Homo-oligomer: A and B are copies of this chain.
């Protein structure tokens, strides 16, 4: 019904991440307006609370107060049918010749005037490890003769991460301190991490809860997903190396993770379906894919030194992941682990087949042996203080571009 709508009464710059076909969701606030649910078109933020107050969002099965919350959780909990109807309504309202154009001043804000907040209250956060190239790269550094663990192709390896320290793009953080032990030291040392790294990831947000004991099949996984966002799983490699045996990453990760402010829905990503990589080891039946496709989403990472230019250091793609999000969710719930609305499931570092597609400094500079040279002539094996890391993601096909904006933050010096 609205699939043909491609133009809005709002000016959308060519090459914008946010045409009328996107309709991502986020939480904004201004000096005058407390947190509100919003979407974005071009460089304009649409205040859904204001739209709702004007009566334009009635009949969708969504209570008006849902649009005045400080997270998207209440909206997400309304269910997929409600989101889809809301999306259609917004596309209609933003289409050419819409009756709401006269209300522009009360419902629209320039993006530059809006502070975007953490969009989700994340109850549970899991990080997978689903890129074969990343697992092989890291494995080769640690175990040259035997890079891949025996379980890796049988199940999407994952672990629980820290929800409290996941923050929205633009919130800078201090370089963590902690214990690390150089190979030639007898005892661990204490200090600021010397090996600050990023990890290029994407995450999906759960839209429908399950009861304890219930499992979600590969076939039905998409019913449980609200949308996707860009995720930087900041990592302090030296802390991680010393602490992670035998129970996994802890302080090397939980000091901060950064998400993009916009959650892009499954519906917006639909035109960008593509096949996931073939799996060359037969998986158990509960993990078998039938027709499930992944998404072709281009990913970029930039390092921007203080007062310097952006340097693109990585070009990767979500489609490279060996394990699809359907398989991740089916595996996570096969034992009856319950899902909650607002849970975040991150992909793990998304590395591609070529060296410029590696999704972390550890891999790009190959454990410090091949430092990157930036435009200003400085070199990086890991991140320096006041480096900003910017991750961008967008899907593009037949002239349509659906983007995520960016997940960006600066590594401040240790406190």
Tell me the minimal C-beta distance from A193 to chain B in angstroms.
8
Tell me the minimal C-beta distance from A180 to chain B in angstroms.
10
Q: Which residues of B contact A155 (CB under 8 A)?
A: 179, 188, 243
Tell me the minimal C-beta distance from A178 to chain B in angstroms.
5
Main SS of chain A's interface residues? loop
| The residue from B159, B163, B335, B337 contacting A159, defined by CB atoms under 8 A apart | B159
A343 on the interface (CB 8 Å rule)? yes
Q: Is the CB of B190 within 8 A of A285?
A: yes
A173 on the interface (CB 8 Å rule)? yes
Tell me the minimal C-beta distance from A227 to chain B in angstroms.
20
| The residue from B190, B212, B247, B254 contacting A165, defined by CB atoms under 8 A apart | B212
CA distance A239 to B154 in the complex (A): 13
Contact with B along A155-172 (1 / 0, CB 8 A): 101111111110100010
Q: Is the CB of B343 within 8 A of A164?
A: yes
Q: Which residues of B contact A149 (CB under 8 A)?
A: 245-246
CA distance A385 to B193 in the complex (A): 48
Q: Which residues of B contact A242 (CB under 8 A)?
A: 151
A119 on the interface (CB 8 Å rule)? no
Q: Is the CB of A334 within 8 A of B178?
A: yes
Contact with B along A2-28 (1 / 0, CB 8 A): 000000000000000000000000000
Size band of the interface chain A makes with B: 35 or more
Q: Which residues of B contact A208 (CB under 8 A)?
A: none
A124 on the interface (CB 8 Å rule)? yes
| The residue from B173, B248, B256 contacting A248, defined by CB atoms under 8 A apart | B248
Q: Is the CB of A162 within 8 A of B335?
A: no
| The residue from B247, B285, B336 contacting A129, defined by CB atoms under 8 A apart | B247
A194 on the interface (CB 8 Å rule)? no
Q: Is the CB of A244 within 8 A of B246?
A: yes
Q: Is the CB of B335 within 8 A of A151?
A: no
Tell me the minimal C-beta distance from A315 to chain B in angstroms.
26
CA distance A129 to B246 in the complex (A): 10
A179/B159 contact (C-beta < 8 A), A213-B415, A254-B335, A255-B336 known: no
A340 on the interface (CB 8 Å rule)? yes
